[in-house]
Amino acid sequence: MDRVHHEATCSALEPPSHRFTDRIRLSDGRWLYLYGDKRTSGVVVRDGRGLSPLAFSSTLRRDPASDEWVIMAPHRASRTTAQSDGCALCPSTDMLPTEIPVADYDVAVFENRFPALGGTTESGTPDGCGEAEGSMFETAPAAGSCEVVSFSSRHNTSLARLPLSSLRTVIDVWADRTRALNRLSQVQQVVCFENRGAGAGATQSHPHGQIYAYPFVPQRFQLMWDAARRSCGKGLTCLFCRLVAAEELGGQRLVLRTSHWTAFVPFASRWPCEVHLYARRHVPDLQALDEAEAHDLAHALRRVLRCFESVTQEPLPYMAVWIQAPAQSGRDLAHLSLQIFSDRSPGGGIKRPAAGELGAGAFVSEADPEGLARALRALVRE
């Protein structure tokens, strides 16, 4: 990404004030945002690493055979993995400067140094940005944003082991960044996610997640919004509200239910260990939660994540993805939920998607949804 685009994007991403404490410019021009109770205001903080400006080379290419956008980001092949001399997400010290140039923090958010997405496009969306009129091979700017969210300054912890107050700060950060990124004209879908553990593809062992702001709606999300639209077209109420009500009524796949949240193992589970956490009220995204719902989410989320840490002797590596409303249109169709899944089963097996699943998209599940739900219900505790 060139300097002009980078600085323009940063100014557009100015976060709202809720739980926000400080903003720091890193040595290569990226922004770092700090949230929580620890403040650095009045203290001169400088990133002395002398990093060169970002070398951004991503583009979008539309697959003519499937009509899907693919993000082409060859520069990410050289991205930072675990440092041999320390952690890139721990607070900086005199001996080891890191991505976070402060002595301590609650939650830190910064622009990824190796982003798959970034910059701006005049059209605001990739549509209509082909190389030539009628060309089969269509490209577009990889507009959008990629951010890293460090959940804590403590290295040896996890999202499931944070104090409730800290987990609530993380929830506020997800909501704030969703609000800020949704304001960008080129953004179509904001996705907050976590890859927990090396087995889930995490390249840093420090507890962290990421936020991608896509200039298109990813295919799986589009399938969900299309299904919701068809349901409404039949004169039915919200598809997802009805799903939650049916799982609560049946109960055999229920993991927990609180005043504002319901967690269950999905009826058509694809992964050996999979839980979906839904808001019981019809809300489109995290920024739409009221105070009681956000507070209750911290309790419910921690209980579910601790199940993934205790269902086997070693914590299961997992992936977690927030399903939120698209940024531009169709927000009334969406219903906020979190999908958490692992390719490891409580019995020790590993699910490796085969050619038919990855190539044809026809998933063969080896899960036992009702049995898993019984096992997880036995583990749920405050």
User: 12 falls in which pLDDT band (50, 70, 90)?
Assistant: very low
Q: Tell me what pLDDT residue 131 has.
A: 53
The yes-or-no verdict on residue 14 having pLDDT over 50 is: yes
Give the position of tokens 């993000």: 71
Q: Give residue-wise pLDDT tens across range 343-377.
A: 998 888 899 989 999 899 899 999 999 999 999 99
State whether 170 and 66 are in the same domain. Answer: yes
Which of the following is catalytic: 6, 206, 208, 260? Answer: 208
Q: Tell me what pLDDT residue 52 has.
A: 84
| % pLDDT > 70, the chain | 88
- Which domain covers residue 368, as residue numbers? 220-379
Q: How far apart are CA 99 and CA 31, in angstroms?
A: 10
Residue 221 or residue 1, greater confidence: 221
Last residue of a domain, one of 195, 216, 237: 216
State whether 225 and 166 are in the same domain. Answer: no
State whether 269 and 209 are in the same domain. Answer: no
User: 44 falls in which pLDDT band (50, 70, 90)?
Assistant: low
206 belongs to the catalytic site: no
Among 334, 336, 327, 56, which residue's Cα sits nearest to residue 184? 327
Cβ contacts of residue 62 below 8 Å, gap of 6+? 68, 69, 70, 126, 130, 138, 139, 140
State whether 296 and 206 are in the same domain. Answer: no
State whether 190 and 233 are in the same domain. Answer: no
Contact 151/208 with Cβ under 8 angstroms?
yes
- Which residues, listed in sequence order, are joined to residue 153 by a DSSP beta bridge? none
Q: How far is CA 369 from the centre of its chain?
A: 24
Q: How many domains does the chain have?
A: 2
Q: Tell me what pLDDT residue 129 has.
A: 52
Q: Give residue-wise pLDDT tens across range 228-279.
A: 999 999 999 999 999 999 999 999 999 999 999 999 999 999 999 999 999 9
**Tokens describing residue 199:** 């087995």
State whether 172 and 229 are in the same domain. Answer: no
State whether 139 and 268 are in the same domain. Answer: no
State whether 234 and 208 are in the same domain. Answer: no
Give the position of tokens 């991608």: 212
- Which residues, listed in sequence order, are joined to residue 33 by a DSSP beta bridge? 23, 109
Q: Which of 131-135, 311-315, 334-338 has the lowest mean pLDDT?
A: 131-135
Q: How far apart are CA 14 and CA 36, in angstroms?
A: 16
User: 81 falls in which pLDDT band (50, 70, 90)?
Assistant: low
State whether 205 and 242 are in the same domain. Answer: no
**Tokens describing residue 202:** 């995490």
Q: Which of 133-137, 141-145, 207-211 has the lowest mean pLDDT?
A: 133-137
| % pLDDT > 90, the chain | 69
- Give backbone dihedrals phi and psi of 171, rounded to 5 degrees, phi first: -60, -45
Contact 273/345 with Cβ under 8 angstroms?
yes
CATH number (domain holding residue 11): 3.30.428.10
Last residue of a domain, one of 171, 197, 216: 216
**Which string of b and e fits 152-175 if b means at least 16 CB within 10 Å?**
bbeeeebbbbbeeebbbbbbbbbb
State whether 201 and 243 are in the same domain. Answer: no
Q: How far apart are CA 334 and CA 324, in angstroms?
A: 7
- Which residues, listed in sequence order, are joined to residue 163 by a DSSP beta bridge? none
pTM of the model: 0.91
State whether 244 and 298 are in the same domain. Answer: yes
Q: What integer best gives the mean pLDDT of the chain?
A: 88
Last residue of a domain, one of 216, 244, 270: 216
State whether 169 and 53 are in the same domain. Answer: yes
